[in-house]
Amino acid sequence: MNTLTDEQLLERFPGTRIDHDNKAFYRGLLNRQLLIDRCGDCGHWFHPPRPICPKCWSRDIRPTAVSGRGHIHLLILLHQGPSAPGVRYDTPHPVATIELEEQSGLRFTSTIVGSDNAALKIGLPVELSWIDRGANPVPAFKLSGASQ
């Protein structure tokens, strides 16, 4: 497990607003674990991180690893945008909101790797696939059964 202090965690994500509610999520990324907040009282999953459960208002929030499986809920192809390591807009760059299998309506937005854009369709099953951007692992997705 990653044992960075809070100060070291901030240094790993310059320009990112990290607080006590989302620091477990970012620590998880460094361990290549996608940790999504889950309520310890009612079991409701939610993202992004919040200090209380949006369903029952409990403060018993438990960052919990998800399976990484889900399906494409929303898909857009970016033809332009800010420069970022590993992002190419001439391809163009796919951005997908994935509905995770843990709960209806639980969604996480990232990119899809390992497939031509023409193969991407809303509703297709995907699984987690980590990529590296700069010094940090980033959660991405690939079509289920794809090689990357």
Assess 62 for contact with Zn ion (CB under 5 A): no
One residue of 9, 18, 30, 44 binding Zn ion per CB under 5 A: 44
> Quick one: which of 74, 71, 67 has its CA closest to 97?
74
Contacting range for Zn ion; rule: CB under 5 A; set: 47-55, 90-98, 121-129, 131-139? 47-55
Token duo for residue 125 = 């099953």
How far apart are CB 39 and Zn ion at their closest, in Å?
Answer: 3
Contacting range for Zn ion; rule: CB under 5 A; set: 5-13, 45-53, 62-70, 136-144? 45-53
User: What residues have CB less than 8 Å from 41, skipping those under 6 apart?
Assistant: 53, 56, 58, 60
Q: Is 30 exposed, middle or buried (0-12, 13-18, 19+ CB in 10 A)?
A: middle
Answer for the pair 12, 135: CB distance below 8 angstroms, yes or no: yes
One residue of 48, 56, 74, 134 binding Zn ion per CB under 5 A: 56
How many chain residues interact with Zn ion (CB under 5 A)?
8
For Zn ion, which is the closer residue by CB, 54 or 85? 54
Assess 65 for contact with Zn ion (CB under 5 A): no
Q: Is 99 helix (H, G, I), strand (E, B) or coil?
A: strand
Contacting range for Zn ion; rule: CB under 5 A; set: 2-10, 58-66, 108-116, 137-145? 58-66
Contacting range for Zn ion; rule: CB under 5 A; set: 2-10, 43-51, 70-78, 112-120? 43-51
